[in-house]
Structure 1
């Protein structure tokens, strides 16, 4: 498989009037195209900061990032970002929310408009195209937010606790739904989550971070013997409990 992302010896610290607080120390990993990686670690360890560095929103103090073989500053690779909240605008319909990014990037065309309709149809939102966000359930809003991200054809998807605002049952269903969509679209994805079950059910491997300043404690590949490898089916698989206990032990031994 082709390597799409490489982080090498990333360091980052927060600065304020009281001094410097190290957040990330010597973070190195790479990803291949189509791979799904989950990042877990103690609360406040710097997981979201790491996503901000990968997206280019903040710069590391040391280290390098390459995307598709080019340094981040030189790369034209499109990176999609899904946050905890769907950020849908109430004054726009679901369809108009989906095409907002295309408008901002001056990419709106007859073909991209058609694709927006196709994606909404494919993922069960066609009948809600003209609805306002408040008329949709939390799960449907997150699905719309994902369609808004996919319409820009990102090479890498960054998911920062995208299901945390949902109730538990909805979270399970939406996690399964969006996980399968990402697989179907063959997207490269990084999920930051504090939910170990979510990480195990969705990812190809889990990167475990220590408490702040965060370093990589362990990387755990996930293998399931399933005819249909879906997030919900993984939760019922015998391997699930084994992986959960391994990650739980690592996190609690190294607090």
Structure 2
């Protein structure tokens, strides 16, 4: 089966009046349909830049990207992007925030409105449909932001540290909550995070990047033998510590 996403030898550098800053070098990997892949690496190594390239916000200086078997520019792949902040607008209700992407893409219809409300009900936010975002907890706001993305039926979700603005307890619950939603919808997801525990608890594979200019140091497959495989249950499993230590040691091998 053709991968949903395939990167071949991606390189990128930022150019300023002070010179060139090489950020990514020779990045190659693929993501299968329904797979959840996490990317970790040292701070400032180019993780978010990589997501910007995949989403089309930046163009790679070298290399090629395939989505659903077609090169960038030839495909019409629908990409969902969740950022560090939920960017819910306080002057709109939760329901109208969920509809925002549909409005922007001129996809509002009776059917899409019904789908949005159905998603709010499925994920426990229907009673807050007419509330303002300030009335929601941090985790609920992120859930609303995810629903806003899911209602567009994206082929792949790009998650750029979506829980980093939450306190530790809410971060745990939000990651568990949203991780289960993504699994239940069988969406393909690519997560950037600096939190190794988060990566191990959510992902099928963890891609480890080196210091800038970043290249791939190692890819670690993640499997758990659990009756109910959820992010919170993974954190309590015996394999969790081994995966965490493997990734930690790889990241710090040159320290």
Query: Shorter chain as normaliser: what TM range?
Result: over 0.9
In the alignment, structure 1 residue 34 sits paired with structure 2 residue 66: no
C-alpha deviations, 1:226-251, integer Å up to 9, x for none?
Answer: 11110000000110000000000010
* Match runs of 1:62-73 below 5 Å: 62-73=62-73
How many residue pairs end up in the alignment?
Answer: 255
Matched, 1:150 2:153: no
* 2:138 alignment partner in structure 1: 138
Q: Which residue of 1 aligns with 2:194?
A: 194
Residue in 2 aligned with 1:227? Answer: 227
Give the conservation status (yes or no) of the 8 Å contact 1:210–1:254.
no
SS across alignment from 1:224: coil
Moved more, 35-44 or 245-254: 245-254
Q: Is the 8 A contact 1:84 1:165 kept in 2?
A: yes
Asked if the contact 1:37–1:203 (Cα under 8 Å) also holds between the matched residues in 2, the reply is: yes
Pairing 1:155-174 to 2, within 5 Å after superposition: 155-174=155-174
- The alpha carbon displacement at 1:73 in A equals 1.4
Q: Match of 1:121? A: 121
7-16 or 69-78: bigger deviation: 69-78
Runs of 4+ in structure 1 off by over 3 angstroms are none
* 1:2 shift after superposition: 3.9
Q: What secondary structure sits across from 1:253 in the alignment?
A: coil
Give, in whole Å, the separation in 2 of the partners of 1:104 and 1:85: 19
Q: Normalized against structure 1, the TM-score is what?
A: 0.99
What runs of 5+ residues in structure 2 fail to find an aligned partner? none
Is there any run of 5+ residues in structure 1 with no aligned partner, and where? none
Rounded to whole Å, the distance in 1 between the matches of 2:138 and 2:240 is 27
In structure 1, C-alpha distance between the alignment counterparts of 2:65 and 2:161, rounded to whole Å: 23
